[in-house]
Amino acid sequence: MSYRFPSDEWIKELTRLLNESESYASSAQNWEGDFMFEIQPDEAFADTAYLFLGLYHGKSPDAALLASSDEREAAYCVSAPYGTWRKVIDGALDPIQGMMMRKLKLKGDLMKIMRYPKAAKEIVSCCALVPTEWPGT
């Protein structure tokens, strides 16, 4: 089974994989801070989508596709066009490098994120494990 990106099913599968990952649990054991991912339209994706990922001490207690960014509070909001998100999920763009190069726009404390690079890489590794169906391809 594959999951359409972005969708509620996709983000919930990511959460399941994060919660099963011992590597993520150890690299993010002291992390506190939820994320909102804003997927912006581009030539391959016409809409704006919001994915919420709850993260707390190496676990993901909550995740959802949201109707708007106001639906839940998150310590961090990362926004980028759909094609950029695909590069991150496919492993072609490191998320921290993407933030430094402003390909991913961050609202939140970048210095805190930079203290947890292994946790960020583990999240991306779990993203790559989600069998993904890409609209527009």
Q: What are the domain boundaries of the chain?
A: 3-122
Q: What order do you get walking across the sheet with 63-66 strand by strand?
A: 63-66, 49-53, 35-40, 76-81, 105-107
pLDDT at 137 over 70: no
Closest CA to 59 of 113, 126, 137: 126
pLDDT at 136 over 80: no
26-59 pLDDT, tens digit per residue, is 999 999 999 999 999 999 999 999 999 999 999 9
Enter the CATH code of domain 3-122: 3.30.1050.10
pLDDT at 11 over 90: yes
Please state, rounded to an integer, the average pLDDT across all residues of the chain. 93
The pTM (predicted TM-score) of the whole model is 0.93
Contacts of 23 (CB under 8 A, 6+ apart): 118, 122, 125
For residue 121, the tally of other CB atoms under 10 A from its CB is 17
| Mean pLDDT, rounded, for 91-110 | 90
| Mean pLDDT, rounded, for 62-71 | 96
pLDDT at 92 over 70: yes
Buried b (16+ CB within 10 A) or exposed e, 96-110: bebbeeeebebebee
Residue 101 main-chain phi, psi, to 5 deg: -90, 0
